[in-house]
Structure 1
């Protein structure tokens, strides 16, 4: 019986300490994000040390927007195509969801945490995608300022 009470206490402790996403923080999504790792449901993770593409998010004041893949170039610019995934932000039971729609599919991801530098999404398969804020790459050293 003591083990059950202890287990319930620990579960409650973890649940109450879990950071909730504040609605005012959702706007931090805007910009370029680089995936760091994916954590699978069984706890295994796959690290991404080099990324050929970043995710670019743009959200308006109505909590809708799009995500698209962009490819960073050596001069600090990005190659962009016309393919994008539209989303709408939905708040349900103090959780923040991004509902995506394309011509081919619809799906949702929960925004687990976000700051100016880090972000975590979880999909329906319980995979967590950990991102870091991306910065332009400029290894040409041409002295030009990157926008």
Structure 2
């Protein structure tokens, strides 16, 4: 009986710890995100020590916007191109999803964690993508702040 009680308490603890994404949290998605690692469904993971590109999100008040790949430069600027993905945030069954669309494909990712510094997304193959919030790199101009 004691073991059943312990299992029940632990189960409730893990369920309670899962972040519920609110509509007010979506603004935190805006900005530059650098991937840190991918954890695959089989438990293996791939760490990213250095990234040549960041994901840039811009989501408006209607929970729709874009995601672009941008390449940070040493002077604090970014190389960008005209390629982007349309993104819509969808809430369903107490979960949040990012629905992407391009002229060639449509797909969704579940929004697992979203804070000012951390983003975790899960795709349909159950791989989780862990990102950290980042910004411009400026190794020139004697450390002057990049606007």
Is TM > 0.5 for Structure 1 vs Structure 2? yes
Matched position secondary structure for 1:20: coil
d(CA) in 2 for partners of 1:144, 1:4: 59
Matching residue of 1:29: 29
Query: Counterparts of 1:42 and 1:98 in 2: how far apart (Å)?
Result: 23
Helix, strand or coil at the partner of 1:27: helix
Instruction: Note if 1:109 corresponds to 2:109.
Output: yes
Distance in structure 2 (CA, Å) of the matches to 1:61 and 1:119: 19
Question: Which residue matches 1:99?
Answer: 99
What's the secondary structure of 1:97's corresponding residue? Answer: strand
Query: TM-score, normalising length from structure 1?
Result: 0.91
Q: 2:122 maps to which residue?
A: 122
Report how far residue 11 of structure 1 moved.
3.2
Question: How many residues are paired up?
Answer: 147
Secondary structure class of the residue paired with 1:131 = strand
Alpha-carbon separation, structure 1, partners of 2:76 and 2:142:
11
Aligned equivalent of 1:141: 141
* Cα displacement (A) at 1:117: 0.8
The CA distance in 2 between the partners of 1:132 and 1:13, in whole Å, is: 25
Q: Which moved more, 1:101-110 or 1:134-143?
A: 134-143
Structure 2 CA distance for aligned equivalents of residues 142 and 10 of structure 1:
52
Over aligned residue pairs, what C-alpha RMSD do you find? 1.7
How does the TM-score come out when normalised to structure 2?
Answer: 0.91
Where do 1:9-88 residues align within 5 Å?
9-88=9-88
Q: Which stretches of structure 1, 4 residues or longer, exceed 2 Å deviation after superposition?
A: 1-13, 141-145
Alignment deviations for residues 15-52 of structure 1 (CA, whole Å, 9 cap, x no partner): 22212112211111111110011111122211101000
Please, which runs of 5 or more residues in structure 2 have no aligned partner? none
CA distance in 2, matches of 1:144, 1:7: 54
User: Which ranges of structure 1 fall in alignment gaps of 5 or more residues?
Assistant: none
